[in-house]
Every structure is written in structure tokens, then in C-alpha cells.
């Protein structure tokens, strides 16, 4: 069903909320990244948008993924591989400097995603999700042949850490 455009602009502060979700279980997110090539920033964004009841279409998730694809493939991912290889050859201070550079690169990805989200959001963002429509997490994970049930692991693990 067609709905009127919604003109709210998302601010960079959404990443603060995303980082809070990440801090609950960083190993889970890194595991998805390493095992399935899931982009952690996109997954965290999907979680945030689901919490806000902003549903993007599958096509919009493909556009968001495409917005950072070259940057990720040509700069961030090779740097991450280099950092992991170098870890055994560096002292902790040198390694931390590499992590800091990677974080700067992650922030650039976040900026690119936010910019693209705000462009998409001005056109066809659905702010009143239909209960039968897949969530943002389901849309995003389906790009990797995964379904939302993998996120149940996070919920289970969070329950274990909070007990």
C-alpha cells in the first residue's frame, strides 16, 4: 500500500544507539561479519530502524548496501585483514593505533549510510509497517541467504549475560 513520504531526517546520533546494541555482544556481530560477510553497521542500522518502526524495502536495503560496497571492498575490508595479520607482529600500542584507524574508516561507512538513508527516506520510506511485512533485519539478512532467526542467538546470549 502506498503511503505518503515521511520527511524526517535521521541524525548521526543513531549510531550512538547502534553502538549501544553492539556493546551488548560484540562477539556475536563479529561472528556474523566473519562467517557470513554481514556488514555490522548495516545490521545495527536494521535493528535501529526496526525499533523505530521504519521499514525499508528489500530494494532499499540493496541500495544502502551498494552505497558503501566499493569503500568496504577496496579500503575497509583489506585494511581489516591487514590489521588481523599484523596483530601478532605488533605491540599492544601499535595494534591499538591500527584499531583506531579502522574505527575512523567505520565512521566513514556510517556517514555514507546515513547520507543514503536520508536520501531514501525522503522518497519511499514506510513509517507504518504492515505486520505481515518482513522486518528490516529480515530484509537485510536475506541478502546473505540468512533469516531473522539468527538474531535469536543474540537475544538468547543477551539473556544469558543478564542473568
User: Where are the domains positioned within the chain?
Assistant: 39-162
For the four alpha carbons of 157, 161, 162 and 163, in that order, the dihedral sign comes to positive
| pLDDT score recorded for residue 71 | 97
CB neighbour class for 79 (10 Å; exposed up to 12, middle 13-18, buried from 19): middle
pLDDT digits (tens, 9 = 90+) for 81-134: 999 999 999 999 999 999 999 999 999 999 999 999 999 865 545 555 556 678
Q: Which pLDDT tens digit goes with each residue over 5-57?
A: 455 689 999 999 999 999 999 999 999 999 999 999 999 999 999 999 989 99
Give the C-alpha separation, 26 to 31, whole Å. 9
Cell 549510531 found at: 15
Q: What would the pLDDT profile of 151-163 be if each residue is shown by its tens digit?
A: 877 655 544 444 3
Amino acid at each position: 500500500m502506498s503511503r505518503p513520504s515521511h520527511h524526517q531526517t535521521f541524525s548521526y546520533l543513531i549510531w550512538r544507539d547502534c553502538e549501544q546494541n553492539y556493546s551488548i555482544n560484540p562477539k556475536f556481530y563479529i561472528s556474523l561479519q566473519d562467517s557470513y560477510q554481514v556488514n555490522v553497521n548495516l545490521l545495527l542500522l536494521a535493528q535501529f530502524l526496526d525499533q523505530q518502526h521504519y521499514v525499508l524495502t528489500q530494494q532499499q536495503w540493496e541500495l544502502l548496501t551498494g552505497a558503501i560496497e566499493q569503500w568496504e571492498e577496496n579500503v575497509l575490508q583489506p585494511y581489516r585483514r591487514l590489521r588481523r595479520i599484523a596483530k601478532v607482529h605488533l605491540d599492544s600500542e601499535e595494534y591499538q593505533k591500527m584499531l583506531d584507524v579502522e574505527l575512523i574508516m567505520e565512521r566513514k561507512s556510517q556517514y555514507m549510510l546515513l547520507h543514503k538513508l536520508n536520501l531514501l527516506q525522503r522518497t519511499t520510506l514506510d513509517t507504518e509497517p504492515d505486520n505481515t511485512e518482513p522486518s528490516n533485519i529480515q530484509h537485510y539478512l536475506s541478502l546473505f541467504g540468512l533469516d531473522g532467526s539468527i538474531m535469536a542467538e543474540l537475544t538468547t546470549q543477551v539473556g544469558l549475560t543478564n542473568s
